[in-house]
Structure 1
Amino acid sequence: MVPLYRSMMSKPKFVVWPQVVLFGDSITQFSFQVNGWGAEIANKLARKCDVVNRGLSGYNSRWAKMILPRLIDCQNSAADSNKIAAVTVFFGANDSSLEDINPQQHVPLQEYSENMKEITSLLTSAGVSADRVIFITPPPLHEPAWEKECILKGSPLNRHNSVAGQYAQACVQAAGQCGADVLDLWTLMQKDGQDYSVYLSDGLHLSDKGNQFLAQHLWGLLESRVAALPFILPYWGDIDTKSPESSLLCDQ
């Protein structure tokens, strides 16, 4: 016997959640940890959007450019474009490693800039327009704390804050050239000479306060891009209890 709701209506449409994709290195990969910035964004977008973590610890922009077509179909502009509301692109902390000490992760400044622009082009080819892309610059580096981490691993200090600043500036410039938005963490965290070390857990990665700082400022850029997204599936109090299928199986 065919269930009553099947006889009353056509097969309901599959529910597709829009996505915000977080693409970056370890600072993105760790963003879903307790008090992480990605988790905070995901909480704000519950029932409206999936926040997808595509953070790859240790990666630089050179490797990111290569791997992006395996994460988003850059050959089929119709595949993901309608469901991707925004993409954050957060590289530079590894690219800015000192070449003579950490050549494995280092990417020259000019190449880094070109890679960031090419990542935007790849996203555009997948139907994700530049106005849905948000670059995030590397945060400042607290050299005394990071040097301790390096020494524990048998290495001298392999990054400098001034060099991270050069990559942050290149990121801002690349975003402007691409028509993408940008969150300049390096500048914001040091604004007015504040003690930016409180935003970092080990001199490089974010502390709880740093995660909160990033989530707050990123939300300011994301909110306009997701404001029009509807609440997915009815609020429980709006479901017709006498005929729930009329509420739950109708197309939104």
Structure 2
Amino acid sequence: MSKFKTVIWPTVILFGDSITQFSFQVNGWGADIADKLARKCDVVNRGLSGYNSRWAKIVLPRLISSQSSAENNNIAAVTVFFGANDCALEDKNPQQHVPLHEYSENLKEITGLLAAAGVSADRVIFITPPPIYEPAWEKECILKGCPLNRHNSVVGQYAQACVQAAAQCSTDVLDLWTLMQKDGQDYSVYLSDGLHLSEKGNQFVAQHLWRLLQSRVADLPFILPYWGDVDAKSPESSLLCDQ
């Protein structure tokens, strides 16, 4: 039987669609967060490209089991970042579209599923979909042989529903749709194709999300001793301690 304590790393789980899945790419917002938390916390990418909130609530119990509540207590935070696919126009993209009211209810259900697994609402952060830059996204749609299938005004309705759901669930929320358009700024610079994030957009998300994450991870200790503090003559005494 092992005489030393296994090192258990806290986790931050990023749960969302393609904007989350792509967040570990070079200069991605998820990679930035993971870099900030190195030696303190594992950042786990659970982004599922193309998914909407309806599918998300179905698969969530497969990703975070309620049978592992003790393990889930080690989850420092979970980001829930859906809506960019839910808001697709029903007549143009019925497969991904989720009605506004159902989207709101799905977010609440996701919070409930997390709570049932031992992840309390104060550890959950909702992220609204970013704005859509229609001229660029329309070009992408035409290349795929379909008409423009999202409108920024509709995205705004889903963003507002996300903010309201967060208030009802007592979770934090990062309202990208509003922040990226604040003071009439040119938000197209935050988007690579009108829908997904550009390098500048990734920086924007990382910067604003970190402000919300900091309070949840500030007290996490540096895992395993700094190399300069290891006793060179008896490294076991430093490396097999409970730190």
Q: Please give the TM-score of this superposition, normalised by the length of structure 1.
A: 0.95
Does residue 18 of structure 1 match 2:10? yes
Of the three residues 174, 177, 180, the one matched with 2:168 is 177
> What are the within-5 Å matches in structure 2 for residues 1-252 of structure 1?
11-81=3-73, 83-252=74-243
Q: After TM superposition, which residue ranges in structure 1, 4 or more long, deviate above 4 angstroms?
A: none
Question: What amino acid is the match of 2:190?
Answer: Y
Structure 1 CA distance for aligned equivalents of residues 54 and 223 of structure 2: 37
Structure 1 CA distance for aligned equivalents of residues 56 and 206 of structure 2: 22
Structure 2: gaps (5+ residues): none
Question: What amino acid is the match of 1:213?
Answer: F
Structure 2 CA distance for aligned equivalents of residues 42 and 123 of structure 1: 22
* 1:77 counterpart SS class: helix
Give the aligned partner of residue 3 of structure 1.
none
- Deviation of the 1:79 alpha carbon: 3.4
CA offsets, 1:146-204, max 9 Å, x none? 00000000000000000000000000000000000000000000000000000000000
Q: When the two structures are aligned, how many residues end up with a matched partner?
A: 243
Q: Is contact 1:141–1:160 with CA below 8 Å preserved after alignment?
A: yes
Question: What amino acid is the match of 2:44?
Answer: V
Structure 2 CA distance for aligned equivalents of residues 110 and 188 of structure 1: 23
- Deviation of the 1:80 alpha carbon: 1.5
Question: What amino acid is the match of 1:189?
Answer: M
Q: Is contact 1:73–1:79 with CA below 8 Å preserved after alignment?
A: no
* 1:67 counterpart SS class: helix
Structure 1 CA distance for aligned equivalents of residues 67 and 161 of structure 2: 28
* 1:134 counterpart SS class: strand
* Rg (Cα) greater in structure: 1
* 1:23 counterpart SS class: strand
Quick one: percent identity of the two aligned structures?
Answer: 84
CA offsets, 1:48-88, max 9 Å, x none? 0000000000000000000000000124432312x100000
Structure 2 CA distance for aligned equivalents of residues 79 and 107 of structure 1: 32
- Deviation of the 1:24 alpha carbon: 0.1
CA offsets, 1:77-133, max 9 Å, x none? 32312x100000000000000000000000000000000000000000011000000
Q: What is the root-mean-square deviation in Å for CA atoms of aligned residues? A: 1.0
Q: Please give the TM-score of this superposition, normalised by the length of structure 2.
A: 0.99
